[in-house]
């Protein structure tokens, strides 16, 4: 990638200036930190759509849950291979703890960071970070602009969403249907309507009923949905209960089936925050990635 070559050259110049007073492992650590910072800065200024618009791999649109979106942490995971490129295996072993420190520093900015789609992807050994369009829940218009730029010939389109991201994902799927674009598969985790004052959102807070807003659209080949009805205020504000989508191919109530889809196994109460950590979600996510 041209941008990576340019930034690598820039990194070499800056590293020589900033790290010249160090030697040995201290110099290696300095060079690694400078490179990481340079690549993150460059990536933050680039369009995700432009980077993947013409490759031949499947496209994943991710709509993150409210309040936990971190483009910086996403970029760090995306760039891991590029960051370590040029360092020896011995350097890799030495620098890995430093990379984890970078992760932790960014993670601390988002206290709910372990309850995100990033967590799910990382723990399912997801290796397609460079084919993701990673968006916060309120970027519906960005998704519409992006899909117009992508060459989808011979590529599967997949959609992943969490919490409020489910509201945006459903609207995006409807938009795609109107434009005759097929979605290979969609993966919803505890979807809720967006906004605290809308009728749908109030339904999520005060009742255990489900919003008709969520359903399997005719342009979706396969749909997964996982929801819970036992939240007791896990986010520190009020009870948030996800929506069942009966028309989904897979529709699992995590309040009773967190450990197994076929048997109701007693488990600690599942809530909106912890739903993504249920074993059945991780197992089905791996399946979703492989189809």
What's the rounded Cα separation, in Å, for the pair 117 and 71? 12
Among the listed residues 251, 247, 121, 113, the one whose alpha carbon sits nearest the alpha carbon of residue 188: 251
What pLDDT does 93 receive?
82
Q: 185-220, pLDDT tens digit by residue?
A: 999 999 998 765 454 556 666 566 788 899 999 999
What's the rounded Cα separation, in Å, for the pair 210 and 223? 17
Q: What is the 3-state secondary structure (H, E, C) of 219-245?
A: CEEEEEEEECCCCCCCCCCCCCCCCCC
Any idea of the CA torsion for 79, 85, 88, 93, to the nearest 10 degrees?
10
For the chain, what is the mean pLDDT? 79
Poorest-pLDDT segment among 37-41, 181-185, 226-230: 37-41
Q: What is the 3-state secondary structure (H, E, C) of the chain?
A: CHHHHHHHHHHHHHHHHHCCCCCHHHHHHHHHHHHHHHHHHHHHCCCHHHHHCCCCCCEEEEECCCCCCCHHHHHHHHCHHHHHCCCCHHHHHHHHHHHHHHHHHHHCCCCCCCCCHHHHHHHCCCCCHHHEEEECCCCHHHHHHHHHHCCCCCCCEEEEEECCHHHHHHHHHHHHHHCCCCEEEEEEECCCCCCCCCHHHHHHHHCCCCCCCCCCCCCEEEEEEEECCCCCCCCCCCCCCCCCCCCCCEEEEHHHHCCCCCCCCCCCCCCCCCHHHCHHHHHHHHHHHHC
Poorest-pLDDT segment among 27-41, 115-129, 141-155: 115-129
What pLDDT does 67 receive?
67
Among the listed residues 175, 164, 159, the one whose alpha carbon sits nearest the alpha carbon of residue 248: 159
What's the rounded Cα separation, in Å, for the pair 275 and 278? 6
Please check the confidence at residue 10 and state whether its pLDDT lies above 50: no
What's the rounded Cα separation, in Å, for the pair 165 and 144? 15
Mean pLDDT score, 140-166? 91
CATH class of 53-69+110-290: alpha beta
Cα first-last separation, the chain: 28
User: With bands split at pLDDT 50, 70 and 90, how would you rate the model's confidence at 1?
Assistant: very low
What's the rounded Cα separation, in Å, for the pair 73 and 97? 16
In angstroms, how far is CA 151 from the centroid of its own chain?
A: 22
| Domain spans, the chain | 1-46+71-109, 53-69+110-290
Mean pLDDT score, 29-50? 74
């Amino acid at each position: 990638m041209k941008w990576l070559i340019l930034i690598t050259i820039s990194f070499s110049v800056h590293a020589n200036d900033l790290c010249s007073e160090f030697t040995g492992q201290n110099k290696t650590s300095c060079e690694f930190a400078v490179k990481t910072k340079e690549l993150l800065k460059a990536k933050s200024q680039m369009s995700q759509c432009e980077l993947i618009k013409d490759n031949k791999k499947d496209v994943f649109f991710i709509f993150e849950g409210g309040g936990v979106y971190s483009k910086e942490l996403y970029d760090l995971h995306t760039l891991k291979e590029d960051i370590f490129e040029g360092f020896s295996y011995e350097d890799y072993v030495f620098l890995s703890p430093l990379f984890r420190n970078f992760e932790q520093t960014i993670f601390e900015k988002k206290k709910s960071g372990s309850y995100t789609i990033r967590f799910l992807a990382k723990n399912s050994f997801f290796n397609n970070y460079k084919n993701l369009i990673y968006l916060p829940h309120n970027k519906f218009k960005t998704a519409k602009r992006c899909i117009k730029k992508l060459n989808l010939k011979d590529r599967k389109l997949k959609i992943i969403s969490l919490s409020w991201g489910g509201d945006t994902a459903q609207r995006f799927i409807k938009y795609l249907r109107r434009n005759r674009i097929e979605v290979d598969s969609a993966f919803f985790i505890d979807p809720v309507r967006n906004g605290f004052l809308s009728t749908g959102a109030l339904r999520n807070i005060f009742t255990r009923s489900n919003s008709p807003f969520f359903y399997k659209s005719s342009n979706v080949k396969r749909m997964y949905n996982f929801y819970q009805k036992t939240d007791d205020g896990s986010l520190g504000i009020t009870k948030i209960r996800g929506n069942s989508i009966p028309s989904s191919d897979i529709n699992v109530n995590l309040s009773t089936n967190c450990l197994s889809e076929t048997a109701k196994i007693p488990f600690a109460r599942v809530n909106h925050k912890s739903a993504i950590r249920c074993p059945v979600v991780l197992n089905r996510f791996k399946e979703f990635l492989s189809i």
